[in-house]
Structure 1
Amino acid sequence: MTPGGLLALLLLACVAMAAEPAPAPRTGKLAIGWAAADITPPEPVALCGQFNTRISKRVNDPLTATALAIEARDADGVLDQAVIVSCDVVAFRRRDLEQIRALVKPRAPDLDPAKILMGATHTHTAPVLVDAREEGYHPHDIMCTFVYRVPEKGVMQPRDYVELFCARIADAVAEAWKARKPGGVSWSLAYAVVGHNRRAVYSNGRAQMYGATDRPDFDTFESTHDPGVELLFTWDEARQLTGVVVNLACPSQEVESADYVSADFWHDARVELRKRHGDGLFVLPQCSAAGDLSPHLLFRKQAEATLRRRKGNLSPRQEIGQRIARAVADGLELAKGDIRSELPFIHKTHMIPLPVRKVTKQEYDAAKKACEDFEARGVDKLDGPSYIRWRLARNIAARFEIQDEQGFYQTEVHTLRLGDIAMATNPFELYIDYGLRMKARSPAEQTFVVQIACDSLAYLPTERGVAGGHYSAEIMSNIVGPEGGRLLVERTVEALKAMWK
């Protein structure tokens, strides 16, 4: 054979090999379990999410933690497992999740505790989970800066609520795991306008969270929003709907400054969904990347008010709840004909070292000066907002002093493949641009990005956000900055792509 002929044969062989389909992924039969726990405080509490101290005057509606257990098995044993949890709080610390895992372990010995992942809905009308008297916390534990001096009498202390919170969620996880039965899943995409970009940009390039848009120098919004609603439905063996995961890009903070306990618009969504689909329906809400979004309107306020009045004087929460319920109904109609009980299931846990946002010398000097000014007034005499600002300034100074030796944060990230869809968690109030990059580059048909999950590291802004400045993009609001955000996207996309190889 001539050299040319041999080369042609080799090329044909290569083409044939390239044309061969990838080996089919390992599939398993699903077992699914659900449970929910009431995490409403039994006493007045300090509410988390604002600079001023708010002590709850009543319970407007319950706080809920919802757990979905999924396991897949084939003839060789367990493919993988997960317990996905959602809870109606503003955020929680990694130590809280570790406590939950430790409580679950003896009650569910066949569940790997590392396979428990949890996200917060980010309601601003739920208890604070950090005690102001806690000492020795790490400067990267940024939740320890947003704390309140809680009266000793007549108010449930944060440390006591944390015990209730962890114990009841552990109950829900163990119950969901024990409740596993053969079942199926289906998924769909729908749309609902809930979140809006909340960072107004002006002609000088500066940005402001909730900035006025009727100013003559208003230019645009810093980024976009995402009306997509990712839906995962679960079914029993009789093909009856048992629950739904609803993932959308908006924190639940419509009534964020209220002085009562509330799950915010997710309560209204649950009520509306159960009206339509039965009281036994489990609803597991997830907040997608939405660090720069909120349900608040920065324009069209009067038009929206007119719309709600014409619908029967709906509250903003009720309107959002109905939008979510309509999206679920739309998705359900499309998904109920494609229920799968055997499919690929992969769940990976990653510890990704992300570079911290460096405190500049100028920021350090400003923080030290602020500390001195607050302390000269007397820390015990500071009002609630000033007390938090003092703690923030003290934290910035402490971060500057350790950043050369401790320049990375070990960040827990979960990636899952369930059939043709994916899920990816992160512990940030993640600016939407990062979430869109993940979704656009993911190999999955749909990607459920879940923020404020398994830890809480406050905001992660983009370069554009940092350039614009203001709250959520300033050093006091960030442990990780844009460099870490880009790396988070790359590592997450790499992990997702590996699940489709």
Structure 2
Amino acid sequence: MGESLSNLLIGWASRDITPTGKVSLCGQFHIRITEEIHDPLTVTALALESDDKNEQAIIVSIDAVAVAQCVIDGCCDRLSNILPEFRPNMLLISATHTHTAPDQPRPFTDFGRPKMADDVMTKEAYADLLIEKISEAAVEAWNKRTAGSLSWGRGYAVIGFNRRAAYFDGSTRMYGRTDTADFSHIEGHEDHAVELLFTYDPNHTLTGMIVNVPCPSQCTEISYFVSADYWHETREEIRSRLGAHIHILPQCSAAGDLSPHTLLNTRADSRMLRLKGYGEDYRMGRRRDIANRLATLIDEVLLLTSTDICDSVQFRHRNISLDLPRRRATEADFADAQKQVALAEERLALLESSDPMSLEYSSAFASRSFYQQVIDLYHAQQRGECLSLPIELHVLRIGEIAMCSNRFEYYLDYGDRIKGRSKALQTFVVQLAGDATYLPTERSIHGGSYGAFIAGTAVGPDGGKQTVDVTVSAINEFFSSV
């Protein structure tokens, strides 16, 4: 069964998920209320089915910081009613990690917010919008599936950089300064590989692509407008070269410790962006530069792989349920969290007369909630609760490529382990396929700081190793003859 070739049925669809009216943007401790739309947010869906109907998948990408579990559950419920022939657990939804999309209800990363004004869209209302539009796109893609072909390839484009600066005292800091005498090195390495999957109609005319990039879309992460970040410019650039009809499904590969912001040579890079004609705004210039780099790479890879289009491929898809050990809150974690909550409460007392929506007040409010979660976790684990985290992993074989997903902001080391051990010709790692929390390495936990300490992480390196082992085992079962 696993060795048989299948003529795939392929369908594409997309929907606009841009909110209307005022929203609270996700991705920072402080509140950002806006009604400015810089560019649209999009959901893109790719439906795949084997000609014998045994294997199926709907792969979805959304311009969002993550995918709330309530959104996944809501979409699965809708699809089970609308598409009885489709198995809802074959739905894979991931996010690009833009920090300029609305909040969703995400208990693990709920920093806490003061009460919003009545004219601000609630997290729950936006989740309902996502469920509606994702489901519409998934259903349309499924209903449009027709015979098609595939090609795949990869190349290199410098998009993301490691964002954790390490110091001589052994500490590490996300976005830490590198212009000080105590700066030692950048903590981890970087991945510049871009994995590409192209789809074609029966005449071998290009219809769409998956673009898998190891970098979250957060060039303009501190802005006060709604935006898909660099994926907006990237879509526009690709379509200007290949046609407005082309579907583009972005995926973020393992990049929990990466971002589009370099910690070194920023002044020189800013000058080069100006010389390219991208303007004085460094962050917006980075968006345009990334778009050009990706589109140029896609042109190159598409030209090469169009000579090797496959009309029939091996196609498998497995959904794996897994219980991971929760990261344990230690006495030291508990004591530090108590200290941080007390400091936040002191700041809130000093800011009592401030606007609750202000940067200072809302940051302190979020910090208190953020660290209170650690205190609550410590007490729960002392009672024998919150000791495991149920997750799901998707593993697919599509021709000679493997695709594997997880819900985390997955540090690059874990992605490297999967790619290194995978028997597939190419391996697409897909992070942020769920309610994202950081999954740091032992090295990062030793260095500390945001993204590595227990606040903001649900699982530690032991859980990370388990996800790697289970994923690799499933991939290599699909490629057992390799």
TM range (shorter): over 0.9
Deviation of the 1:101 alpha carbon: 1.1
1:36-89 deviation line (CA, Å, top 9, x unaligned): 01000011200000011001141000000000000112xxx3230000000001
Instruction: Report the 3-state secondary structure (helix = DSSP H, G, I; strand = E; otherwise coil) of the residue aligned with 2:55.
Output: strand
1:359-398 paired onto structure 2 within 5 Å: 359-371=329-341, 374=344, 381=352, 383-398=361-376
Deviation of the 1:147 alpha carbon: 4.1
Query: After alignment, is 426-435 or 357-366 more displaced?
Result: 357-366
Aligned residues: 465
Correspondence for 1:272: 237
Q: Pick from 114, 117, 130: which aligns with 1:152?
A: 117
1:288-307 paired onto structure 2 within 5 Å: 288-307=253-272
Q: Pick from 402, 405, 417: which aligns with 1:422?
A: 402
CA distance in 2, matches of 1:191, 1:52: 35
1:45-444 paired onto structure 2 within 5 Å: 45-73=23-51, 77-130=52-105, 141-143=107-109, 145-149=110-114, 151-313=116-278, 315-371=285-341, 374=344, 381=352, 383-403=361-381, 404-444=384-424
Q: Pick from 444, 452, 471: which aligns with 1:465?
A: 444
Q: Which amino acid in the other structure matches residue 30 of structure 1?
A: L
Deviation of the 1:369 alpha carbon: 4.7
Instruction: Report the 3-state secondary structure (helix = DSSP H, G, I; strand = E; otherwise coil) of the residue aligned with 2:81.
Output: coil
Query: After alignment, is 370-379 or 227-236 more displaced?
Result: 370-379
CA distance in 2, matches of 1:296, 1:447: 25
Contiguous gaps of at least 5 residues in structure 2: 280-284
Paired residues of 2:278 and 2:288 also in contact (CA < 8 A): no
Whose Rg is larger?
Answer: 1
1:81-139 deviation line (CA, Å, top 9, x unaligned): 000000001112222101011112222111111100110000000000128xxxxxxxx
Paired residues of 2:345 and 2:364 also in contact (CA < 8 A): no
Q: 1:469 to 1:342 in 2, by over 3 A?
A: same
Instruction: Report the 3-state secondary structure (helix = DSSP H, G, I; strand = E; otherwise coil) of the residue aligned with 1:467.
Output: helix
1:210-267 deviation line (CA, Å, top 9, x unaligned): 1111112211111111000000000001111000100010000000000000000000
Paired residues of 2:20 and 2:35 also in contact (CA < 8 A): no
CA distance in 2, matches of 1:372, 1:228: 44
Paired residues of 1:188 and 1:231 also in contact (CA < 8 A): yes
Q: Which amino acid in the other structure matches residue 79 of structure 2?
A: V
Q: Pick from 470, 477, 481: which aligns with 1:498?
A: 477
Deviation of the 1:362 alpha carbon: 2.2
Correspondence for 2:282: none
Paired residues of 1:28 and 1:79 also in contact (CA < 8 A): no
1:373-415 deviation line (CA, Å, top 9, x unaligned): 6557569957211111111222112211233333111111000
Q: Which amino acid in the other structure matches residue 328 of structure 1?
A: I
Paired residues of 2:408 and 2:431 also in contact (CA < 8 A): yes
Q: Which amino acid in the other structure matches residue 262 of structure 1?
A: S
CA distance in 2, matches of 1:151, 1:400: 30
Query: After alignment, is 398-407 or 114-123 more displaced?
Result: 398-407
Paired residues of 1:79 and 1:345 also in contact (CA < 8 A): no
CA distance in 1, matches of 2:339, 2:182: 32
Q: Which amino acid in the other structure matches residue 103 of structure 2?
A: V
CA distance in 2, matches of 1:147, 1:96: 20
Correspondence for 1:486: 465
Instruction: Report the 3-state secondary structure (helix = DSSP H, G, I; strand = E; otherwise coil) of the residue aligned with 1:363.
Output: helix
Paired residues of 2:55 and 2:315 also in contact (CA < 8 A): yes
Q: Which amino acid in the other structure matches residue 494 of structure 1?
A: S
Instruction: Report the 3-state secondary structure (helix = DSSP H, G, I; strand = E; otherwise coil) of the residue aligned with 1:492.
Output: helix
Q: Pick from 415, 430, 446: which aligns with 1:450?
A: 430
- Identical positions, percent: 41
Contiguous gaps of at least 5 residues in structure 1: 1-22, 132-140
Instruction: Report the 3-state secondary structure (helix = DSSP H, G, I; strand = E; otherwise coil) of the residue aligned with 2:7.
Output: strand
Deviation of the 1:339 alpha carbon: 1.2
Deviation of the 1:361 alpha carbon: 1.5
Instruction: Report the 3-state secondary structure (helix = DSSP H, G, I; strand = E; otherwise coil) of the residue aligned with 1:412.
Output: strand
Q: Which amino acid in the other structure matches residue 40 of structure 1?
A: T
Deviation of the 1:306 alpha carbon: 2.2
Q: 1:480 to 1:274 in 2, by over 3 A?
A: same
CA distance in 2, matches of 1:500, 1:230: 18
Q: 1:313 to 1:71 in 2, by over 3 A?
A: same
Query: After alignment, is 122-131 or 428-437 more displaced?
Result: 122-131
CA distance in 2, matches of 1:277, 1:110: 34
Instruction: Report the 3-state secondary structure (helix = DSSP H, G, I; strand = E; otherwise coil) of the residue aligned with 2:295.
Output: helix
Instruction: Report the 3-state secondary structure (helix = DSSP H, G, I; strand = E; otherwise coil) of the residue aligned with 1:491.
Output: helix
Instruction: Report the 3-state secondary structure (helix = DSSP H, G, I; strand = E; otherwise coil) of the residue aligned with 2:212.
Output: strand
Paired residues of 1:197 and 1:222 also in contact (CA < 8 A): yes
Q: Which amino acid in the other structure matches residue 348 of structure 1?
A: R
1:171-219 deviation line (CA, Å, top 9, x unaligned): 0000000010000110001111000000011111211111111112211
Q: 1:261 to 1:297 in 2, by over 3 A?
A: same
CA distance in 2, matches of 1:423, 1:164: 28
Q: 1:405 to 1:151 in 2, by over 3 A?
A: closer
CA distance in 2, matches of 1:148, 1:334: 50
Q: 1:173 to 1:93 in 2, by over 3 A?
A: same
CA distance in 1, matches of 2:112, 2:153: 40
Aligned CA-pair RMSD? 1.7
